[in-house]
Amino acid sequence: MAQKVAVLGAGLTKFMRRAKETGKELSFEAARMALEEANMDISEIDCVVMATAPDMFDGVHMKGDWLSDGAGAKRKPYMRSYVGGGSGVFAIIHGWYLVASGLFDTCLVVAEEKMSSTMPHPQGAFNAIYDQFLERPLGVNLLWIFSLEMMRYMHVHKIPLETIALVSVKNKKNGLDHPCTQKGIAGNYTVKDVLNSEVIAYPVHRLMVSPVTDAAAAIVITSEHEAKRRTDKPIWIEGVGWCLDTSYWTNRDLYYPKYVEYAARMAYEMAGIKDPRKEIHVVEPYDPFAYKELHHLEGLLLADKGEAPKLLEKGFWDRDTKDGIPSCPSGGLLGVGNPIAAAGLMKVIEIYLQLKGEAGKRQVRREVKRGLAQAWGDLMQVGTVVILSK
């Protein structure tokens, strides 16, 4: 039967547009920091899991193997999982099943992304995500898929652009309080600033898009008996869920992320949660684009379809809300940066810190006992969800 699994330590590097450090060095720094907090040595780690998004960023095939030494995996059981952008939250799910299976007692979970290596621009690496037969020949572009989805979402629910811009405003302001925030990303923006920013692919404006980032994140997770003997304040993994929809994304109505709902339901069931709106006290949904946070909050069943934007206008998702559910208190990808896999794990770490009461200036106002982190990935396809509690 499943063992209970806890998070004991977390590490993050700065989020940078261009890091001097290599991917291996970034992984090492984050891993070292997580081990330090957990008061553990690498020799006490039974297995290592790595999450990192497209190999094309680093320009290294079998990137997982290449990064393994930076992640402390020499002569250890090691696996790299890959669900595109969902990988950062999947990383903790991956570590969870390895420990919950009883096969391993301790696991080091590392997420790395070094996007700056790709020339001329990391965005180009995303061309190859599209179908090679029917889509790539059209001269596709990563932004298309987001702008097409955003347009559909706005159209079905009649959401004004101003409301979506509020997400950028909220998250970029929250990001000012995150110590790792990428330079030039966070700030006190207004809705007007966001809507005045360059239209890159209508309806997406530049300030609604998260940046390209290099960074790494890591956490240490252990089985229940290891956790209990090492700490008084373990943070438990209560539920996990993940779900992948069809690759035929043009056959789906993009206004609603069903795959996020299914992943969330799986996690809620595992955690015994019947009423998520009451039982989830803080949430970190994936926000690579401003509208995505709202899209995902609805998929997570924390708001009815089409309602998340209205709640946003009312301050329901604000960090200092008393009756609402604070969303992206970290600042999210819009406010801290988007090193794809590391960004997802950063969100998990944020929930961990919030539950421990160690989020400093970002600590939410309301009392929190249970939090949820979610990531998205692939071609508008993957939802990965983890629920932590204290």
Partner 1 sequence: MNVYIIGIGLSAPKKISPEVSFREMIYEAAEKAYLDAGIEPKDVDTFVSVSEDYEEGTAIFDEYVPDQLGAVLKPVHTICADGITGLASVFAQIKTGHFKIGVIEAHSKLSNIKHHFHVHAMALDPVYVRPLEVNPYFVAGLEMGMFLDSRGYDELDTAQVVAKNKANALLFGRSPFGSFISPEEVLLSQPVSDPLRELDIAPNADGACVIVVATEEIAKERRGDLIKIAGIGFAEFTPNIERWEGDADYLRVAAQKAYSMAGIRNPLNDVDFAEIDDTFSYKELQHLEAIGLARFGESADLMREGFYDLSGQLPVNTTGGNIGNGNLSLMNGLRAVYDAVLQLRGDAGNVQLENPETALIASWKGLPSSSGGVLILRREG
Partner 2 sequence: MKFEGTPLDSKQFAKELNVEWKGKLEYEWDCGIALSKFMEGLKEGKILARKCYACGRVMIPPRMFCESCFRPTDEWVELKDEGEILTFSVSFVNWDASRRKKPEVPAVIRLEGASENMGILHKLGEVGDTLEEVLKNVKIGMKVKAVWKKEKEREGAITDILYFKPVKRKK
Q: Which of 84, 288, 326, 331 binds partner 1 (CB under 8 A)?
A: 84
Structure tokens at 116: 């700056």
Structure tokens at 352: 């961990």
CA distance 54 to 86: 12
Binding to partner 2 by CB under 8 A, coded x per residue (else -) over 307-326, reads --------------------
CA distance 261 to 243: 9
Q: Are strands 370-377 and 382-389 parallel, antiparallel or unpaired?
A: antiparallel
Q: Binding to partner 1 by residue 82, rule CB under 8 A? A: yes
**Shortest distance, position 339 Cβ to partner 2, whole Å:** 11
- In the complex with partner 2, the residue whose CB is nearer, 98 or 243, is 243
Contacts to partner 2 from residues 104-133, by CB under 8 A: 116, 119-121, 123-124, 127, 131-133
- In the complex with partner 1, the residue whose CB is nearer, 43 or 132, is 132
- In the complex with partner 1, the residue whose CB is nearer, 102 or 357, is 102
Q: Binding to partner 1 by residue 138, rule CB under 8 A? A: no
Binding to partner 1 by CB under 8 A, coded x per residue (else -) over 258-277, reads xx--xx--x---x-------
Q: Which of 134, 158, 188, 367 binds partner 2 (CB under 8 A)?
A: 134
SS3 at position 110:
strand
C-alpha separations of 150 from 133, 178, 275 in Å: 25, 27, 28
Residue 31 binding partner per list partner 2, partner 1, none, with a CB distance cut-off of 5 to 8 Å that depends on partner kind: none
Q: Binding to partner 1 by residue 144, rule CB under 8 A? A: no
Phi, psi dihedrals of residue 305, rounded to the nearest 5°: -60, 130
- In the complex with partner 2, the residue whose CB is nearer, 1 or 119, is 119
CA distance 69 to 78: 10
Q: For residue 108, what is the enclosing H or E element?
A: strand 106-114
CA distance 239 to 385: 8
Residue 254 binding partner per list partner 2, partner 1, none, with a CB distance cut-off of 5 to 8 Å that depends on partner kind: partner 2
8 Å CB contact between 218 and 120: no
Q: Binding to partner 2 by residue 158, rule CB under 8 A? A: no
Chain centroid to CA 124: 22
Binding to partner 1 by CB under 8 A, coded x per residue (else -) over 39-78, reads ---------x----xxxx-xxxxxxxxx-xx---xxxxxx
Query: What residues does 242 pair with on adjacent strands?
Result: 384
CA–CA–CA angle 245, 246, 247 (5° rounding)? 120
Q: Which of 5, 7, 8, 33 binds partner 2 (CB under 8 A)?
A: 33
Find, among 26, 30, 51, 31, the residue nearest to 41 by Cα.
Answer: 31
8 Å CB contact between 250 and 140: no
Q: Which of 175, 241, 276, 337 binds partner 1 (CB under 8 A)?
A: 241
Contacts to partner 1 from residues 11-30, by CB under 8 A: 22
Q: Binding to partner 2 by residue 176, rule CB under 8 A? A: no
8 Å CB contact between 340 and 211: no
Which residue is associated with the tokens 């932004």? 143
Residues in contact with 185: Cβ distance below 8 Å, sequence separation at least 6, in sequence order: 15, 172, 175, 210, 211, 334, 335, 336, 337
Residues that bind partner 2 (CB under 8 A): 12-21, 26, 29-30, 33, 59, 116, 119-121, 123-124, 127, 131-135, 137-144, 147-152, 155, 179-180, 182-183, 198-204, 214-215, 246, 248, 250-254
Residues lying near partner 1 in the complex (CB under 8 A) are found at: 1-3, 22, 48, 53-56, 58-66, 68-69, 73-84, 90, 94, 96-98, 100-103, 125-129, 132, 241-248, 258-259, 262-263, 266, 270, 377-379, 381-382
